[in-house]
Amino acid sequence: MPKFTPSLDDMQFIMHDFLKITDHYQAMGFEDASDPELVNAILEESGKFASEVLSPLNHPGDQTGCKWNDGVVTTPNGFKEAYKQYCDAGWAALASSTEYGGQGLPYSLGLITSEMNVSANTSWNMYPGLTHGAIHALAHHGSGELKQQYLPNLINGIWTGTMCLTEAHCGSDLGMLRSKAEPQDDGSYNITGTKIFISAGEHDMAENIIHLVLARIPGSPQGSAGISLFLVPKILDVATANGATDNQVTCASIEHKMGIKASATAVLNFDDSKGYLIGEINKGLACMFTMMNSARLGTGLQGYGIAELSRQASLEYAKERIQMRSLSGVKAPDKEADPIIVHPDVKRMLLTQKALVEGCRALAYYTATLVDKVEYGHDPDGSADKILGLLTPICKAFMSEAGFECANHAVQVYGGHGYIVESEVEQMVRDARITMIYEGTNGIQSLDLLGRKVLRDRGEALGLWVKEIKTGCATVDASLKQQADEVSALCDEWLQLTGAVGAKVQGNMDEIGAAAFDFLMYSGYVTMAHLWLQQANASLNSSKDESFNEAKRQTMAFYFARILPRVKTHKALILSGADNLECNDFEI
Q: Which residues are designated catalytic?
A: 439
For residues 388 and 411, give the distance between their C-alpha atoms in angstroms, rounded to a whole number.
34
Its sign, for the CA torsion 52, 53, 58, 59, is positive
CA-to-CA dists, residue 482 to 18, 477, 533, angstroms? 20, 10, 10
Q: Cite the DSSP H helix spans in 321-453.
A: 344-375, 383-414, 426-433, 442-447
Residues with Cβ within 8 Å of residue 255, at least 6 apart in sequence: 197, 265, 266, 267
233 in helix, strand or coil?
strand
DSSP 75: P
Residues with Cβ within 8 Å of residue 296, at least 6 apart in sequence: 392, 393, 395, 396, 439, 440, 445
Residues with Cβ within 8 Å of residue 542, at least 6 apart in sequence: 13, 17, 548, 549, 552
Element of type H or E holding 213: strand 208-215
For residues 104 and 95, give the distance between their C-alpha atoms in angstroms, rounded to a whole number.
5
Task: Measure the CA angle with vertex 129, ends 126 and 132; round to 5°.
Answer: 155
371 in helix, strand or coil?
helix
